[in-house]
């Protein structure tokens, strides 16, 4: 075998290596070794350091999970998905609500520490990428994803490419005003969409309903021994799935607001598909049916335009790390191709 | 000179020919011969046929203005900008609120009638294109334009290309809900942005203010001999420019709603620049200053992100026809290049 061919084969083999995806959430750092088909071969987890800790401490935690996974098998590259503003060059996190990062040059810091190519991406973008490559959005190149967690994360795919905006911070749908003078939002404004269609909104409404002493909330309250403040999103979901009428109504309300916001996004982006992910989406059709109904009722130009489909995400809470890993692999591939073309294989 | 070279020169000469742009508005069909620098060399105008007239009648009108302009000088192609939904292939108008067009195959019908290449484009997209090529948006490739006329028209430029969405109908910003249960909109919904930041909103507010008999509206009413129903947008603009306090306040209110909606669009699209056009923008800084103030106050992540600039469009009400002509020229150029490559010059 010629030296050149042998080199080519080594490159090919290394491109088959798994990539590491790291998803930095508000409470957990979840990481995984991801193969070329988007399967998670091995997992590692830590608690997210409290936001009072220095950026250094968060980097230590990321380095730890990466090292743990590399002990299992060597990786080609690392992708880091973070809930926050990632700059246009995808090297710095401008701002992350749950962390101490402010203009944090994460990519280069981690690259130095782990000696592998590193990609930094907004977590919702990473999740959308995963759904497009391996999940619910396969085959549709114009997609808007909406992830209903504590708040709302958003991502936009245009002609099969992630759309990041001029400065890297597009897709912050949760902070679009839908109610003038509405509920106060963490972002400092009022009436943001995520105050009406998110996990936080669900829990707030459930607790208000229970605290009002309404008889319709009786069965919900029984589930938490009468302690309205112990009502959570997953508990509401379970209750709705069991047919509890109050919990079902709560999802109808959240779903209606979801549909209204999606109609706004359809007016702006006109995608072929909406993919709904995040913890709240585990309620499935209990959420999506009222959302579709409100969407059809609210869509501007209804009757004169093709309408986007609204479906549930498929990859669950691992979508972020799978997408981050796949984006990192993609970048590594492009990088190697360039090196190989310039003769520096 | 070789035959091939002579042919090439003839092609080059024909590419220097002006293109015709036609802007079909609610009241006027405005057309112009536009040169390669975006200058309008000759104009033609008709009234827009009433929406009760058949599509055929509108096509007759378009054919008339085109023929009038070609008598002056031969053109390379025709671009038609229309207020309405243009389909993804840019051949049909799916729906136009002011016309009888429903799924109207305008491109092919006009091509047959005039024997020139024809391009159909949404009017706000055409205007944005003109501002990017020859006007206020030169040098910035990620632009959102918002045209405040009777309603709100919108366009999006991403990396120097018009973004049309999966089905061609992106950028309908005017129908994004900003006030739950707000003013009724022509689109059938309530609380649409264009009910708060458009020419219609300005006139409605002015008339309400005057009808309420408020002393602050006294000077405004003097301008229309006490007839509140005779208050118009241009009249409000003149009054505000003359320093009338009531008219100035009206523009502050409209401007504030403009800024809130722009903050919503910044959350979604994160552009580098907003270009504000349409009749209402003729108030200039009287509108844009309050808009910028509200935008800064409402932008999510303010302080942690670069902010888009907000400026006024430059090309006035000819932007639509200039852009439509330039897009038609572009298409003709690509088409000729392809023919020339395949040897069928």
Mean local confidence (pLDDT), B45-72: 93
Domain containing A178 equals: 139-313
pLDDT recorded at residue A344: 53
Instruction: Please enumerate in sequence order all residues whose Cβ is within 8 A of that of A2, keeping only pairs 6 or more positions apart, or say none.
Output: none
Mean pLDDT of chain B: 93
Mean local confidence (pLDDT), A205-217: 90
Q: Could you tell me if residue B134 is inside a domain?
A: no
User: With 80 as the cut, is the pLDDT of residue B299 above it?
Assistant: yes
Q: Could you tell me if residue A290 is inside a domain?
A: yes
A9-43 confidence digits (pLDDT tens): 777 777 789 999 999 988 899 999 999 999 999 99
Contacts of B302 in chain A (CB under 8 A): 188
Tokens of B317: 């009400």
Q: What is the tally of structural domains in chain A?
A: 2
pLDDT recorded at residue A297: 95
Tokens of B215: 């002393």
Q: Could you tell me if residue A134 is inside a domain?
A: no
B337 touches chain A (CB under 8 A): no
A120-155 confidence digits (pLDDT tens): 999 999 999 999 999 999 999 999 999 999 899 999
User: With 90 as the cut, is the pLDDT of residue B259 above it?
Assistant: yes
Closest CB to A94 among B264, B269, B305: B305
DSSP secondary structure string for all residues of B272-311: SEEEEESGGGGGTHHHHHHHHHHHHHH-TTTTSS---EEE
Query: Based on the domain organization, do A63 and A158 belong to the same domain?
Result: no
pLDDT recorded at residue B157: 98
Q: Could you tell me if residue B58 is inside a domain?
A: yes
Instruction: Please enumerate in sequence order all residues whose Cβ is within 8 A of that of A263, keeping only pairs 6 or more positions apart, or say none.
Output: A294, A295, A298, A299, A300, B177
Region of poorest pLDDT, from A58-67, A88-97, A126-135: A88-97
A63 touches chain B (CB under 8 A): no
Percent of chain B at pLDDT > 90 equals 78
Mean local confidence (pLDDT), B135-150: 97
| A301 to B187: CB separation less than 8 angstroms, yes or no | yes
The Cα A4–Cα B134 span in angstroms is 52
User: With 70 as the cut, is the pLDDT of residue B38 above it?
Assistant: yes
Region of poorest pLDDT, from A29-43, A327-341, B173-187, B201-215: A327-341
Query: Based on the domain organization, do B332 and B295 belong to the same domain?
Result: no
> Residue B80: beta bridge partners?
B22, B120
**Contact between A283 and A242 (Cβ < 8 Å):** no
pLDDT recorded at residue A345: 43
Q: Could you tell me if residue A133 is inside a domain?
A: no
Q: What is the pTM of this model?
A: 0.94
Percent of chain A at pLDDT > 70 equals 98
The secondary structure element, H or E, covering residue A122 is strand A118-122
Query: Based on the domain organization, do B227 and B327 belong to the same domain?
Result: no
Query: Based on the domain organization, do A96 and A183 belong to the same domain?
Result: no
Region of poorest pLDDT, from A1-5, B5-9, B61-65, B267-271: A1-5
Q: Could you tell me if residue B239 is inside a domain?
A: yes
Pick from A246, A248, A236, A144: nearest CA to A199: A236
Query: Based on the domain organization, do A202 and A331 belong to the same domain?
Result: no
**Contact between A125 and A171 (Cβ < 8 Å):** yes
Question: In degrees to the nearest 10, what's the CA dihedral of B258, A102, A275, B178?
Answer: -20
The Cα A38–Cα A51 span in angstroms is 31
User: With 70 as the cut, is the pLDDT of residue B306 above it?
Assistant: yes
Q: Could you tell me if residue A53 is inside a domain?
A: yes
Pick from A177, A146, A143: nearest CA to A159: A143
> Residue A118 belongs to a domain with what CATH number?
3.30.420.40
State the ipTM, two decimals.
0.93
The whole-angstrom distance between B141's CA and the closest CA on chain A is 9
Closest CB to B176 among A154, A164, A267: A267
Query: Based on the domain organization, do B309 and B168 belong to the same domain?
Result: yes
pLDDT recorded at residue B95: 86
Pick from B163, B170, B123: nearest CA to B147: B123
Mean local confidence (pLDDT), A109-128: 96
Mean local confidence (pLDDT), B126-141: 98
**Contact between B149 and B280 (Cβ < 8 Å):** yes
pLDDT recorded at residue A79: 98
The whole-angstrom distance between B297's CA and the closest CA on chain A is 8
Sorting pLDDT into bands at 50, 70 and 90, what band is A186?
confident
Sorting pLDDT into bands at 50, 70 and 90, what band is B345?
very low
A272 touches chain B (CB under 8 A): yes
Say how many C-beta atoms besides its own lie within 10 A of residue B312's C-beta: 18
Region of poorest pLDDT, from A249-258, A332-341, B95-104, B248-257: A332-341
User: With 60 as the cut, is the pLDDT of residue B226 above it?
Assistant: yes
**Residue-level length of chain A:** 345
Residue A321: CA count within 13 A, CB half-sphere: 29
Q: Could you tell me if residue B8 is inside a domain?
A: yes
The whole-angstrom distance between B17's CA and the closest CA on chain A is 34
Query: Based on the domain organization, do A117 and A159 belong to the same domain?
Result: no
Pick from A132, A174, A133: nearest CA to A265: A174
Sorting pLDDT into bands at 50, 70 and 90, what band is B27?
confident
Mean local confidence (pLDDT), A280-288: 97
Query: Based on the domain organization, do A148 and A285 belong to the same domain?
Result: yes
Pick from B232, B85, B53: nearest CA to B166: B85
User: With 70 as the cut, is the pLDDT of residue B140 above it?
Assistant: yes
Query: Based on the domain organization, do A169 and A293 belong to the same domain?
Result: yes
Query: Based on the domain organization, do B236 and B302 belong to the same domain?
Result: yes
Binding-face residues of B in 137-176 toward A, CB within 8 A: 142, 154, 158, 163-173, 175-176
* B313 against B336, higher pLDDT: B313
Query: Based on the domain organization, do B224 and B287 belong to the same domain?
Result: yes
Pick from B112, B199, B207, B206: nearest CA to B147: B199
**Contact between A146 and A154 (Cβ < 8 Å):** yes
Query: Based on the domain organization, do B271 and B328 belong to the same domain?
Result: no
A300 touches chain B (CB under 8 A): yes
């Amino acid at each position: 075998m010629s030296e050149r061919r042998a080199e080519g084969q080594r490159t090919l083999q290394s491109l088959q290596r798994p990539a590491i995806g790291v998803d930095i959430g508000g409470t957990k750092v979840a990481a995984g070794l991801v193969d070329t088909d988007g399967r998670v071969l091995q997992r590692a987890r830590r608690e997210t350091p409290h936001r009072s800790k220095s950026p250094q401490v968060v980097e230590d935690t990321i380095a730890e999970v990466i090292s743990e996974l590399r002990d299992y098998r060597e990786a080609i590259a690392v992708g880091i998905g973070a809930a926050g503003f990632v700059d246009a060059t995808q090297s710095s996190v401008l701002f992350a609500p749950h962390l101490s990062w402010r203009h944090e040059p994460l990519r280069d810091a981690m690259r130095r520490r782990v000696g592998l190519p590193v990609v930094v991406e907004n977590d919702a973008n990473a999740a959308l990428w995963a759904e497009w490559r391996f999940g619910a959005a396969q085959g549709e190149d114009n997609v808007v994803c909406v992830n209903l967690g504590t708040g709302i994360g958003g991502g936009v795919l245009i002609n099969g490419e992630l759309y990041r905006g001029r400065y890297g911070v597009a897709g912050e749908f949760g902070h679009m005003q839908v109610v003038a003078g509405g509920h106060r939002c963490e972002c400092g404004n009022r009436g943001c969409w995520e105050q009406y269609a998110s996990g936080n909104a669900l829990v707030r409404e459930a607790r208000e309903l229970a605290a009002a002493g309404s008889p319709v909330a009786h069965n919900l309250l029984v589930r938490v021994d009468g302690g309205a403040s112990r009502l959570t999103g997953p508990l509401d979901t379970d209750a709705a799935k069991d047919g509890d009428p109050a919990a079902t109504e709560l999802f109808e309300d959240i779903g209606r607001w979801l549909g209204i916001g999606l109609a706004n996004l359809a007016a702006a982006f006109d995608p072929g598909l909406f993919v709904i992910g995040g913890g709240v989406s585990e309620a499935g059709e209990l959420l999506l049916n009222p959302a579709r109904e409100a969407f059809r009722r609210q869509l501007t130009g209804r009757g004169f335009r093709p309408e986007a489909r609204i479906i549930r995400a498929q990859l669950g809470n691992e979508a972020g790390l799978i997408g981050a890993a796949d984006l990192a692999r993609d970048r590594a591939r492009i990088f190697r191709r360039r090196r190989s073309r310039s003769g520096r294989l």
